Amino acid sequence: MDYREFFSQFKYLSEKPGIGGKIKAQPEDFIVMEEPLRSAFDGKKYAIFLLKKRNWDTMAAVKEIAKRAGISHKDIGFAGTKDRHAVTYQYISVPREAKEKVEAVQLKDIELRFVSYGRALKLGHLLGNRFKIIVRGVDESAFERAKEIVRELRSKGGFPNYFGYQRFGERRVTNHLIGKLLLKGDFEGAAKLFLGAHEGGMEGDEARKNFWETGDVNRALEEFPGFLRYERAMLYKYKETRSWRKAFLSLPLPIMRIFIHAYQSYLFNLYISRRIEEGLPLNEALVGDIVVQVKGGIPYRDRTYRVTETNIEFVKEKIRKGEAMVSGPLFGFSMRRAGGIPGRLEEELLAEENLSLEDFKRLPKPMAEPGGRRELLIRPLGLTYGYVPGVGMCFRFFLPKGVYATSVLREIMKDH
């Protein structure tokens, strides 16, 4: 199953036909500019660089910069991971004493510019991202169609805040399935899927297929190419310990957490889709909903309150003023649960998945997931768009951190 087929299960909020077309035909069609927190520039211990990259994964770029500068990649901080098939601008921090070494690094499709001194950057240490995206393969009629869709979505409060396909895997849409198996304590099943899932056409797929069919660890170590370093590390650990649990726990924590987060994201997407399917509003609070506070268009997901019979009119007014948004569940052991109709939807999802919130606590300690809430709608700030003859539609907008531009475009294009 590819990501288009996977995403077809999630309902569109707008009913107007999409404009079609294609994004990311070339990296320059998808430009991302990170907007950091001002506090990133407080301090003197770290040198802050603006990293421009083209067709580079963030982690791969950081590791290569570190290697060329002769420092550990763990000494390079960054606030967010960025699309590979794009031209992206993001900030990185390096120890002050490494400034000149990093300035001297020269790599194809990478530019580094010293900005100022500041603090060590950590994931999430940003306000959001500005986007400029070209949709190719459309004619000038796309402008009017886009206008109708945007008008319709504004009347419904915004775009559905689905997690984008990057969360689940573009070619091997398995991250959420692995996460579910880990939650159930099935480390062998999770390992088999992580190592053996294959779609065909990718380097290493033949080796994955052989492992899927035979489970032969020694053969896999002979056949898995060197770039599948996490897979090979897991195989070696299994050979040493004969324990798939220990093999999985030998992976770096950020890699293990990807799978749990992907499963949480899948359930959140299902929640939005069910709410649309049942005709329940995303921009209007129901009794039992949990709403998040919003300031300057930025949602503060750790500031939530419950909607009751007595405060519902007050909350609705807050939502109308753009000071609050209805949220959905990121399931975890200490998540604030909704009541009423929204609570029933949450309960139904958990029951269908044969899941309890305690399952998120039973994970090995580093992977245990407290969960939280996330707003149901995306409200792109400064959204502008137009048709460029001979090119296609050009969209520009700003999104808060953790929100996917591809989910905005999906609603306009209706391509998956």
Which is nearest to 179 in space by CA: 163, 166, 164, 168? Answer: 168
Average pLDDT over residues 210-239: 92
- Per-residue confidence at 177, pLDDT binned at 50, 70, 90? very high
Query: 87-95 and 30-36: which strand pairing?
Result: parallel
Distance CA 47, CA 54 (A): 22
- Asked if residue 154 has pLDDT above 80, the reply is yes
Q: What is the structure's pLDDT at 167? A: 87
| Residue 287 Cα to chain centre, angstroms | 29
Q: What is the structure's pLDDT at 351? A: 96
Catalytic residue among 83, 186, 289, 415: 83
* Amino acid identity at 246: K
Q: What is the mean pLDDT of the chain?
A: 93
The tens digit of pLDDT for each residue in 308-318 reads: 999 999 999 99
- φ/ψ of 180, rounded to 5, equals -65, -40
Cβ partners under 8 Å of residue 415, min gap 6:
4, 18, 20, 21, 22
Name the CATH superfamily housing domain 281-375: TruD, catalytic domain (3.30.2350.20)
Q: What is the structure's pLDDT at 24? A: 92
Flag whether the pTM goes above 0.85.
Answer: yes
Average pLDDT over residues 51-68: 93
Domain borders along the chain are 3-23+136-161+379-413, 27-128, 175-251, 281-375
Distance CA 333, CA 321 (A): 32
83 is catalytic: yes
| CA distances to 19, 163, 171, 280 from 156, in Å | 19, 19, 32, 11
CATH architecture of 27-128: 2-Layer Sandwich (3.30)
Q: What is the structure's pLDDT at 124? A: 85
Tokens of 295: 């300031």
- Asked if residue 66 has pLDDT above 80, the reply is yes
Poorest-pLDDT segment among 74-88, 193-207, 280-294, 386-400: 193-207
CATH architecture of 175-251: Orthogonal Bundle (1.10)
